[in-house]
Amino acid sequence: MAIQKIDIATFLLLSPNSLVLDVRSPSEYSQARYPGAYSLPLFTDEERRVVGTAYKQESKEKAIKIGLDYFGPKMRAMVEEVETLTRNNTKKILVHCWRGGMRSGGVAWLLDLYGFEVYQLTGGYKAYRNWVLRQLENPYDIKILSGNTGSGKTPLLHELEKSGKQMLDLEALAHHKGSALGGINQAPQPSQEMFENLLAEKLSSKNIEKTILLEDESQRIGNLNIPNVLWQKMKTSELLYLQIPFEERLKYLVEEYGKLPIEDLKNAILRIQKRLGGLETKNAIMHLEEGNLSGCFGILLRYYDKWYEKGLNSKEKGEIIKIEGQSVNVEVNAKKIIERLT
């Protein structure tokens, strides 16, 4: 069966039930990739550099010959690796490189020669990235779930999803909960490009005709930025503002963050020292060392309340719908949100 060249739409259609091979170099793959793609690099980073230099400074023919020197000794191992990956499973194999050129063409030729059913992505990873950027530009019907720190917005989003509502958990994709404490005990954040890829994948699975709920965030989540085109939509979307008493939110924060390592909490507090102020920083750390979590988190919560209100007033927002909540009870608060959405 000859190698079939496919466009990005066909690639996305076939990929859930196929083995996707990313034959770019290890550093390209680690920077960002198609979610679920397996790394089968044709060249190491150094080999890629050598081939690229020869292409630019000498000729295409010279670069190909150097590439073949690298490729030849790897052929058997590559075939056997793919054979292991597809054992007991006659998966289609989708191959891509950066532009859909010689690297994916070479690997596709080898695997086709061996007898695999091979598809090569026209335009490569670059075509996928163009698809990602188009997903971010779609006219989604977005509503923002807002509320001061400690309102339990993230678990509330997941409760609303259980009730059949569409939502997108930006913090889960970013591996960060948004505040100074948000990176503690989280997996390393993805690159900005990978964050956008994950975001686009999630958005593409949503029904564009129905509302998608997002948590109210600043544009920056840890070291990542919400893509500007989506951020602009969020800024002007209708906002569901859940209002929960200070003491209830404080109780929730103590339960949520009180078990985290003290040194990590100290370091997080020190990172916002300039904005928190020297005295409040000193008092927060003193309470933390004494085991007075309510005293410590109370200082942080008042700080975040001030900045949240300031940010809310400065944002260009659509209609703000205020919803009273008595406590951080996701089941009860989800019902209140649903009542306002219907």
Give the CATH number of domain 4-133.
3.40.250.10
Which residue is catalytic, options 97, 110, 200, 240?
A: 97
For a pLDDT cut of 70, what percent of the chain falls above it?
Answer: 98
Helix axes 124-136, 192-204, angle to 10 degrees: 70
For residue 13, what are its two tokens? 């259609």
Answer left, alpha or beta for residue 113, where phi above 0 means left and psi between -120 and 50 means alpha.
alpha
Residues 289-307: what's their mean pLDDT? 92
97 is catalytic: yes
- Residue ranges, CATH 3.40.250.10, the chain: 4-133
Q: Give pLDDT, residue 316.
A: 60
The pLDDT tens digits for 179-198 are: 778 888 889 999 999 999 99
Flag whether pLDDT at 128 surpasses 80. yes
Please state, as a whole number, how many other Cβ atoms lie within 10 Å of the Cβ of residue 19.
19
Query: Which strand (E) or helix (H) includes residue 156?
Result: helix 153-162
Residues 215-233: what's their mean pLDDT? 94
- Residue ranges, CATH 3.40.50, the chain: 139-341
**Domain 139-341 is found in CATH 2.60.40:** no
Distances (CA, A) of 323 to 6, 23, 210, 238, 328: 49, 51, 22, 13, 13
Residues 310-321: what's their mean pLDDT? 70
Confidence of residue 314 (pLDDT cuts 50, 70, 90): low
Confidence of residue 317 (pLDDT cuts 50, 70, 90): low
For residue 180, what are its two tokens? 């100074």
Confidence of residue 8 (pLDDT cuts 50, 70, 90): very high
Q: How far apart are CA 340 and CA 342, in angstroms?
A: 6
Q: How far apart are CA 66 and CA 95, in angstroms?
A: 22
Residues 145-155: what's their mean pLDDT? 93
Residues 70-74: what's their mean pLDDT? 96
Confidence of residue 313 (pLDDT cuts 50, 70, 90): low
Whole-prediction pTM value?
0.91
Q: How many residues does the chain have?
A: 342
State the average pLDDT for the chain: 93
Site of tokens 């793919």: 82
Query: Which strand (E) or helix (H) includes residue 137?
Result: none
Q: How far apart are CA 151 and CA 334, in angstroms?
A: 12
For residue 41, what are its two tokens? 């690099």
Residues 150-170: what's their mean pLDDT? 95
Q: Give pLDDT, residue 89.
A: 77
Strand partners, 141: 211
The closest of 278, 289, 256 to 182, measured between CA atoms, is: 256
Q: Give pLDDT, residue 91.
A: 82
Amino acid, res. 203: L
Flag whether pLDDT at 315 surpasses 90. no
For residue 338, what are its two tokens? 């649903």
Q: How far apart are CA 138 and CA 118, in angstroms?
A: 32
